[in-house]
Structure 1
Amino acid sequence: MGYLILGVAAALIGGTSPAAAGMVQPPPAAAATEPPRDITSILEPIIAKHKVPGMAAAVIQGDRIVMLGAAGVRAAGHPEKATESDLWHIGSCTKSMTATLCAQLIEDGRLNWNTTLEQGFPELAERMNPKWKRVTLTQLLTHRAGVPHNLDQDGLWGRVWNSNETPAKLRLMIAEYLLTHEPGYEPGTKYEYANAGYTLAGILAERAGGEPWESLIQRRLFAPVGITSAGFGAPGVPVVISQPRGHNAAGAPVEPSHDADNPAGIGPGGTVHLTISDWAKYIAIHLRGDKENPRRATRLLGPESYDALHTPPAGDYACGWSITQRPWGEGRVLNHNGSNTMWFAVTWLAPKRDFAVLVACNIGGDAGSSGADEAVGAMIREIQRGAPAKGSP
Structure 2
Amino acid sequence: MFFSAIRNILKNSQNAAKYTAITAQLRHLRGQRNHQVEVGLITPTDVTTNQHDTPAEAAREGAKEVALDFGKREAHVPSFNLAAYVNNSSTLKKFIDLGVDLHSIEKRKGLGQFVLGLDFEKNVKPHISFLVDQGVSPDNFGRMFTKNPLLFKEDLDDLKTRVEYLKSKRFSDEARARILTQNPYWLMFSTRRVDRRLGYFQKEFRLSGHDLRLLATKEPNVITYNMEHLRKSVFTLKEEMGFSPKELSALIVRRPRLMMTPPDDLIERFSYIHQDMGLSHAQIVQCPELLASREFRLRERHEFLKLLGRAQYNPQEDLYISPKTIVQGNNFYFVRNVAKSDLETFELFLKTR
Verify same fold: TM over 0.5: no
TM range (shorter): under 0.3
Structure with bigger RCO (C-alpha 8 Å, 6+ apart): 1
In the superposition, the TM-score normalised over structure 1's length comes to 0.25
